Amino acid sequence: MLSYAHGPRTALLETTIGEQLRETARRFPDHLALVSRHQGRRLSWRELDAEVDEWAGGLAGMGLHAGDRVGIWSTNCVEWVLLQLASARAGLVLVNVNPAYRSHELGFVLRKSRMKALFLWERDARANYREILGQAVSEDIRVTSVYFGAGFGWNRMGEVRRQGGPNDVVNIQYTSGTTGSPKGVLLTHRNILNNGLLIGRQVNISEIDRICVPVPLYHCFGCVIGVMTAVVYGCAIVLPSWSFDARAVLEAVDRERATVIFGVPTMFIAELEHPDFAAFDVSSLRTGMMAGAPCPIEVMRRVVDQMHARQMTIGYGQTESSPAITMCAADDPLEVRVSTVGAALPETEVKIVDPASGETTPAGVQGELCTRGYLVMKGYDGEEEATRRAVDPEGWLHTGDLAVMREDGNFKITGRAKDMIIRGGENIYPREIEEFLYTHPKIADVQVVGLPDARLGECVAAWIRLKSGESLDEPELRAWCQGRIAHFKVPQHIRFVEEFPMTVTGKIQKYRIRQAEIERLGLEQAARIETA
């Protein structure tokens, strides 16, 4: 038996997001569609559809045309969802901007995406976005900034005509991927609508469900698995807070009687360990999905037992695959749901190949996981060579992740592209941080690795060699990083060294750096945590 699987055959949606929203609003006009607890807003599907029409007209009134890019730089809010759906209805391409980005990263995305407008809040508890935008904008960047909040409104309305079709790009999400600096992943209506369709089917979603979505909307987990699933099935989206807050999640589940909950492992750990956990009634939970980072088996068991999510599932994917590739089903045996990432989703091909030969491996033999089907991205924006490296001539997306296919068709992730770090659901590519740290005038050389972390899955560590005669300490370096790169990319562990471990040919041995830090910091136990 070879490590190849084709998920069940099923009919896919051949429509656009705007059309699907219209159909859902027609079927369930008075059902609850969207709750933003921190904003005190509640919209039915009829109300949501009407507001999306207004926003689409406002975008057209700004002079934006089909195919133009518009960005959103915000934490979770009603406005995020409205802009996502309105830009799709108007034939525009939404560019997701991570709220943790600072001037260095924001400038890169503004320049690379060629967005014509950026929607944002002036500031929040974590950042002054107006100030950061001012630092990021240069002469070669031309973007109209539109601020939410008091005074926000549409100056004029334009006519919105039916634009394009299911295979048009509707969303660009930046990811470090497996090949270096951030790349814009081009996703179509067909990609993300159908991923929402198939994920919902795995956990038996219907219009009576309420999905608690504490994951960030700028990430595929939020704007696809959260929003698109609801748009397809007519269930409600519950946003607990601007950004993740464990207590707000527990309160939202309690007060809104949420039946479904999504999250990365660190979120579930924070919820389970919150001192007020027992004060909230979470018995309404039925199912959900844990994904975005390696999922510790014991955490999964606790969610099933203590959060009453008896049909909790694990999924696996990446931005380039819209994102879900494999997923457990809600009625799978508990052993499957806690120790694997499930089987190939419907209309999805998965195979495990030998990285050296490219041949499909026998079942039970580790190799690189590849996938093919409707879910594969259209490509990286303006990156033809990188696209060719990621998607082969036969249409297989090479994930860079190592996996094993069991005899029962379920998959277990056994490793990743050797340098990738996943910290609390955030993909971090060491080269990007290294190149940034190289710009410090006192640094001669730097090597960044991921270390095991019991709470976040992994954290960032840096070994730094200074230029001759220079001195630098950790607080000074951290202060220099602040405001220049996202907080999750700032190394948690910093060590100043005279040299790096190398092979006789001069190749740096990052695995030895990692092992040395595990021993120095006493992380052996975290390194042994078993994940699916």
**Which residues are paired to 493 by β-bridges?**
461
Burial of residue 99 (CB within 10 Å: 0-12, 13-18, 19+) is buried
Query: Rounded CA gap, 522 and 391, in Å?
Result: 40
Helix (H) or strand (E) holding 327: strand 324-327
pLDDT tens string 256-286: 999 999 998 889 989 998 999 999 999 999 9
Specify the residue for token string 């008896």: 310
Q: What pLDDT shows up at residue 211?
A: 98
User: What pLDDT shows up at residue 507?
Assistant: 64
Closest-CA residue to 185 (of 343, 322, 309):
322
Question: N- to C-terminal Cα distance for the chain?
Answer: 22
The answer for residues whose C-beta is within 8 angstroms of residue 82's C-beta and 6 or more apart is 48, 51, 52, 55
For 246-289, what is the HEC assignment?
HHHHHHHHHHHCCCEEEECHHHHHHHHCCCCHHHCCCCCCCEEE
Under-50 pLDDT residues of the chain: 177-179
CA–CA separation, 71 and 86 (whole Å): 12
3-state secondary structure of 128: strand
Tokens encoding 88: 């799709």
Domains of the chain, with CATH numbers?
Answer: 4-149+167-414 (3.40.50.12780), 421-527 (3.30.300.30)
**Which residues pair with residue 460 across a beta bridge?**
450
What is the chain's mean pLDDT, rounded? 93
The pLDDT, as a whole number, for residue 265 is 87
The phi and psi torsions of 273 (rounded to 5 degrees) equal -95, 5
Find, among 194, 115, 163, the residue nearest to 376 by Cα: 194
Identify the helix (H) or strand (E) that includes residue 197: helix 189-202
Which pLDDT belongs to residue 418? 60
Distance CA 24, CA 232 (A): 7
DSSP state, 296?
Answer: B
CA-based R_g, the chain, Å: 23
What is the C-alpha separation between 17 and 195, in angstroms, rounded?
Answer: 12
CA gap 191, 375 in Å, rounded: 5
Residues 6+ apart with CB under 8 A from 295: 265, 314, 341, 531, 532
CA angle 240, 91, 48 (to 5 degrees): 35
Length of the chain: 532
Cis upstream peptide for 323 (omega within 30°):
yes
Question: How wide is the angle at C-alpha 276 spanned by C-alphas 272 and 278, nearest 5°?
Answer: 70
- What is the distance between the alpha carbons of residues 471 and 168, in angstroms, rounded to a whole number? 53
The string of pLDDT tens digits covering residues 372-404 is 999 999 999 999 999 999 999 999 999 998 899
Determine contact, residues 100/196, Cβ cutoff 8 Å: no
- At 343-378, the pLDDT tens digits run 999 999 999 999 889 999 999 998 999 999 999 999
What was the pLDDT predicted at 292? 82
Q: Which residues contact 105 (CB under 8 A, 6 or more apart)?
A: 98, 182, 485, 486
At 179 the pLDDT is 44
* Cβ proximity of 128 and 122 under 8 Å: yes
Dist. CA 11–CA 197, nearest whole Å: 10
